[in-house]
Amino acid sequence: MSGWRHPDLGQAVDRSRILRFSFDGAAVEGFAGDTLASALLASGTRILGRSFKYHRPRGLMAMGAAEPNAVFDVTLDGRTIPNQRATLTPLLDGMQVRSVNTAGSAGRDPLGALDLLHHFLPAGFYYKTFMAMGWMRWEPMIRRMAGLGRVNANWHPPADVETMNAAPQVLVIGAGPAGLAAAKAAAESGSRVWLIEETCALGGTLRWRGGQIDGADWTVFRDATLAAIEAAGGRVLTDTTLWGAFDHGLFTAWQRRSDAPDIHWRLRPSRTILAAGAIERPMWFSGNDLPGVMGAEAALHHLVLHGAVAGRRIILATAGDGAYPVAGALCAAGAEVTIADARHVTPDAPEGVHLLRGTRIEAATGHGAVRRAVLDHKALDADTVLMAGGWTPSVQLHCQAGGKLDWDETRDALVPRPGTSAVTTVGAANARYGLSEALAEGHAASGGSGPAPRPTVETGWSYAPLRPDCTLKGRVWIDMQNDVTLKDVAVAAREGYTSVEHLKRFTTLGMATDQGRTSNFAGLSAMAALTGRTIPETGTTTFRPPVQPVPLAVIGGRRRGALFNPPRRLMLEGAHKAAGARFREYGGWLRPAVYGAGDEAALALEEAQVARATAGLYDASPLGKIEILGPRAAELLDFTGYVRMSTLTQGRARYGLMLSETGIVYDDGVVLRLADDHFVLSASSSHVAGVIQKLEDARQDRFGSDGVVIIDRTAYWSTLSLTGPAARSVLNRAGLPDHGLPHMSVAETESDCVPLRIARISFTGDRSYEISVPAQQAAAFEARLVHALEAEGGRRIGLEAVMLLRAEKGYILVGKDTDGVTMPHDLGWTAPRERRTDEFVGKRSLFTAEAGRSDRRQLVGLVAEDDRGALPTGAHVVAPAGMRRSQGFVTSSGPAPGAGGSHALAMIEGGLSRMGEVIRIFHLGDIRHARIAPACLFDPVGGRLDG
């Protein structure tokens, strides 16, 4: 117990509202306005979690996004959000907080014994040891032991995060002094400014350090800034994390809201000013990870805002002026404070503070918490050690936006190189730590007119550079979250991983969820020292989004579940539903699978049998209806198709294939010629967009967009396919003209002033009419057709029945019965390849050595040799004897509604010349025998097409 609550201090907390929560099962109290971090600090709870690898006890170390240790699974109202950073999580009543990386609780973790083995677990230990014995075997155990928070697999967060777009004129990231000055100057010159702040309030360091600007309290300056932004039509977003900078000036921000769902912002500002501040560097001494070792600025932050005092006997180790006010404030709050300053020349000690000049901290000791600090070989009792090791500018977004860094020797930091990114960096993020220079730089970045805002009292920020000392005894931690010590860096250097990118991957330095905020500089400078290079020579790692962990639910937004990839809907969906249709997605469309209740396979077979006996009607609306018009329309189709269409006569239809330039079958479909210069191409339902893309490619590239246009009218028409021996009687009964159409022909007509296009095209092998009607008039028309259909003993049939009907005819579905290597001659369609002398897409590819192989997989039918029902789709075909090498696979299979029994289609090596051969079908260890047969099982002469 060392942290405590000051009786008066804490400007952000409301002491009249006590909030109760639990930490690892123990009851804790805090105030409204607390963060989880401040409430736990004030409660005296020291061990807030365990380290990732060695399960060492860890406590609160920092503030804001930099906190590496205090990461919790937080449950509220039955909803658990894993890996919440305590410093950024506002305390709410009833929260159940659980520490991470613990086998028990943070305070008592049986795996803490792992720490005793640390000599055997250096950097790279896991890679070397567990790879050798098969990583997969060990991975589950290692993940259980490390793994951070626990995800509740049954919890599905609501898809309620709205994605919003905005284009501010000026985007200011960070609302500290520099950000406020930049936003104020820009707004006063009339720009629409968006000011983004990660925490809940504006002001940055001013909130806990206070200060006067232009002769008044800083809050006056803040309020003037707010007023100016509002007057210019801008916005201020607090609790908003700007997490990524992307190509072409896109920024993404996650706005957290307590009273409404979060918002994900996509911002495209004209100008961006980065004022993200800086992270306080820790110091590097033995035991610097003990609970009770904390950043000095964080201690001041928790003290002033929340009245949470870090300890009672405090050693403040530093080499800079900025920490002196911290010592003064803690002393005034009632703590006993000793400053150990590594410098010999220092400012005067604040009143009541003991100052040791030229004194270096070597170690912090204690079991589970700090008990002593060792200063120049002398041990001093202390319950808290504060570290003020200088500053590291937060330059992530500058680097994400493509910016480079320069080493600034005088400010001991890597700073943005001006002009290398579209982001202007100001203030502490640009290593301008003093209040006046931060205000001036922010003001200037926005082209502010008049004098820059000025503080009444300048703050002292100079510090002597500190570096990790590789000669120190004991374990010196540099990355708390991933448990990397200074020795691990030495191991990496010894093994040759001297590039920072290699160092990062070998030791996992900076790869934790805090993204190395407090650790990257230490690793980098230690490697520089070990290899005798300068820091700029050693380089930095790449910064990538996100700057801060962002829930996937925020990025996914509303595009989940039903809105993830919404299927297209049929105009006649209501009619199908009323008829009892069960819908399923086919190629991006929601279509009737079967009608009625019961076993789907049985229903489909029954529907197909009715269609074979009398008539069936199915909704074929998703079939593409791509119109090609113009004097060169025939020429375009000849070039883009495998089969010539220029020889098609008006009023006739022809089946064709479309190939890609690699000779692979891309799509199949029927082309109708309505007029000399007017064709309709029925592309497969799921290939319409792709077919248009290929047609447009030829039209715009080869035809110079001249003499031909392409129009997609798929959605304009609803198409009903009437099939079966009674199809013509149904048509007659419905009072529709048949026009005596022969198979593969088309007529444009009308009935009761409704335009119709009737085509004799069959996907079932029976006499069929494909009737297209304008979608707006489809419902009444369909009702009329169904009435006649049912009077003739026919019925609606779903897609599953259609699949059975087409399969026993050997009619293919491209992409199901073909794959990414199928060429037209593999389907037995050789004539155009052999005879066409003109150019067409894919032609040359049909004559490569590969295309000419005799053992190519070819489409055939399969008839099972046993009576065990349909062969399994996807099963492999293996030779009748010998090695079980796959010679192909079953592509479609099911009962044969017309022929009886079952039937399958398969792609088999050299299959077309192996008719009658009995082969083995191998599936999940089961072996069956089947005979290779023609793909078409039913009515091979095609007599029923005109039946």
Partner 1 sequence: MQIFPCPFCGPREEHEFLFAAEAGKVRPEPAAKVSDEEWAAYLYHNDAPKGIAREIWYHQTCGTYFLMTRDTVTRDVKDSRFLSEAST
Q: List residues binding partner 1 (CB under 8 A).
A: 246-248, 250, 266, 402, 661-662, 689, 692-693, 696-697, 700-702, 704-705, 710, 839, 843-845, 847-849
Q: Describe the crossing of helices 486-494 and 500-507 by its angle, rounded to 10 degrees.
A: 120
Judged by DSSP in three states, 219 sits in helix
Question: Which DSSP helix (H) or strand (E) runs through 20?
Answer: strand 14-23
Is 689 in contact with 589 (CB distance < 8 Å)?
no
Is 339 in contact with 314 (CB distance < 8 Å)?
no
| Residue 821 φ then ψ, to 5° | -125, 5
**Minimal distance in Å, beta carbon 505 to partner 1?**
25
| Residue linked to tokens 């992307």 | 246
**Minimal distance in Å, beta carbon 710 to partner 1?**
8
**Minimal distance in Å, beta carbon 911 to partner 1?**
26
Task: Find, among 444, 510, 440, the residue nearest to 68 by Cα.
Answer: 510
10 Å CB burial of residue 537 (0-12, 13-18, 19+) is exposed
- Closest CB to partner 1 among 169 and 723? 169
- Closest CB to partner 1 among 86 and 664? 664
CA atoms lying within 13 Å on the CB side of residue 693: 8
- Closest CB to partner 1 among 705 and 830? 705
**Minimal distance in Å, beta carbon 664 to partner 1?**
12
**Minimal distance in Å, beta carbon 840 to partner 1?**
9
- Closest CB to partner 1 among 269 and 282? 269
- Closest CB to partner 1 among 111 and 250? 250
10 Å CB burial of residue 750 (0-12, 13-18, 19+) is exposed
- Closest CB to partner 1 among 846 and 936? 846
* Residue 309, CA distances (Å) to 37, 303, 384 in order: 12, 5, 10
Task: Find, among 720, 715, 659, the residue nearest to 690 by Cα.
Answer: 659
Cα gap 519→524, rounded to integer Å: 9
- Closest CB to partner 1 among 644 and 728? 644
Neighbours of 220 (CB within 10 A): 13
- Closest CB to partner 1 among 270 and 848? 848
**Minimal distance in Å, beta carbon 695 to partner 1?**
9
- Closest CB to partner 1 among 487 and 843? 843
**Minimal distance in Å, beta carbon 839 to partner 1?**
5
- Closest CB to partner 1 among 250 and 470? 250
**Minimal distance in Å, beta carbon 246 to partner 1?**
5
**Minimal distance in Å, beta carbon 943 to partner 1?**
38
- Closest CB to partner 1 among 245 and 771? 245
**Minimal distance in Å, beta carbon 639 to partner 1?**
11
| Residue linked to tokens 């009851």 | 27
- One-letter amino acid at 604 equals A
Cα gap 869→930, rounded to integer Å: 12
898: left (phi over 0), alpha (psi -120 to 50) or beta: alpha
**Minimal distance in Å, beta carbon 843 to partner 1?**
4
- Closest CB to partner 1 among 646 and 700? 700
- Closest CB to partner 1 among 250 and 491? 250
| Residue 157 φ then ψ, to 5° | -60, 145
- Closest CB to partner 1 among 702 and 733? 702
- Closest CB to partner 1 among 127 and 246? 246
**Minimal distance in Å, beta carbon 240 to partner 1?**
19
Report the DSSP beta bridge partners of residue 485: 477
Gyration radius of the chain's alpha carbons: 37
Helix intervals (H) in 210-280: 218-231
* Residue 559, CA distances (Å) to 255, 565, 713 in order: 18, 8, 28
Q: C-alpha angle with apex 517: 512 to 521, nearest 5 degrees? A: 110
Task: Give me the sheet containing 568-569, strands edge to edge.
Answer: 568-569, 589-595, 581-586
Helix and strand counts by DSSP (H, E) for the chain: 23, 54
In the chain, the largest separation of any two C-alpha atoms, in whole Å, equals: 110
Is 464 in contact with 342 (CB distance < 8 Å)?
yes
Is 106 in contact with 24 (CB distance < 8 Å)?
yes
- Closest CB to partner 1 among 8 and 701? 701
- Closest CB to partner 1 among 284 and 543? 543
Question: Which DSSP helix (H) or strand (E) runs through 142?
Answer: helix 135-145
Judged by DSSP in three states, 190 sits in coil
**Minimal distance in Å, beta carbon 228 to partner 1?**
30
**Minimal distance in Å, beta carbon 627 to partner 1?**
13
Is 423 in contact with 403 (CB distance < 8 Å)?
yes
**Minimal distance in Å, beta carbon 679 to partner 1?**
17
| All residues at 6 or more sequence positions from 634 whose CB lies less than 8 Å from its CB, including other chains | 645, 646, 648, 676, 677, 679
**Minimal distance in Å, beta carbon 447 to partner 1?**
25
**Minimal distance in Å, beta carbon 838 to partner 1?**
8
Cα gap 862→905, rounded to integer Å: 6
Q: C-alpha angle with apex 159: 158 to 164, nearest 5 degrees? A: 135
**546 preceded by cis ω (within 30°)?**
yes
* Residue 433, CA distances (Å) to 219, 320, 425, 648 in order: 20, 12, 13, 80
